Amino acid sequence: MKPLVLIGPMGSGKSEVARILSSSLERPLADTDEMVEKASSRSVSQIFHEIGELAFRDLESLALREALSDPTAVIATGGGIVMDPLNAELVKKRARVFYLKVTPETAATRIGNGNGRPLVEGKEVGKEIARIIAERDAMYDGAAHHVIDAEREPAAVAKSIEQLLQ
C-alpha cells in the first residue's frame, strides 16, 4: 500500500477531499500545513511573517517526509509543496499522487479574501492565484500520477479518486 497524496493550488479543495477520503477509506489523515503549524506552534501566516517563506518550505518538506512514512496515510499538501523538485520526485516515487486541477476563477472564489494565506493576503487574489497556477501547473502535472477535475464538489472529487483506486 502507498500513501495517497493530494497536490494542487490553494482553493483546489485538497484538505476537504483528503478529509472525505480518509473517512470513507478508513485511512489516517495527514495535512502538511497542520503538521507544520503544530510542530512550530504558529499559524502558517505567522511562520511566513516571522521566519519567512524559505523557513516554512523547510518545515513543510520535513512534514511531508514524516507523513509519507505511513503507507496508509491520505495526505493533503500545501499548494507550494511541488516547488521543491526533491519533494515532487519523492511523492511520485513513494505515493499515489492526485493533482486537483482547478481554474483560477474557481480557486479565487474558494479562497475569498485570502485570509490566512500569506501568498495572496492583501493582494488582488484573482490575479495572484492565476499567476501561481500558471507558474506551477507543469510542476503539479509532472509530480502527479492522475489529474483530477476539481471544479466539482469535494464529495464528487473524492469519489472519482476512489474509483481510480479500485
Cα dist. 112→10, 33, 40 in Å? 11, 19, 26
Which pairing describes strands 29-31 and 4-7: parallel, antiparallel, or unpaired? unpaired
Applying CB under 6 A, which part among 87-95, 96-104, 116-124, 139-147 lies near ligand S3P?
116-124
Of 79, 73, 88, 68, give the one whose Cα is nearest residue 33.
Answer: 79
Contact residue for ligand S3P among 79, 104, 114, 154 (CB under 6 A):
79
Applying CB under 6 A, which part among 10-18, 20-28, 62-70, 144-152 lies near ligand S3P?
10-18
Q: Does 78 bind ligand S3P (CB under 6 A)?
A: yes
Q: Position of cell 510542530?
A: 39
Of 140, 108, 142, 143, give the one whose Cα is nearest residue 10.
Answer: 108
Contact residue for ligand S3P among 90, 97, 100, 119 (CB under 6 A):
119
Q: Position of cell 511541488?
A: 82
Query: Which x/- pattern, by CB under 6 A, does the window 44-63 give for ligand S3P?
Result: x-------------------
Q: Does 33 bind ligand S3P (CB under 6 A)?
A: yes
Q: Which residues bind ligand S3P (CB under 6 A)?
A: 10, 14-15, 33, 44, 78-80, 117-119
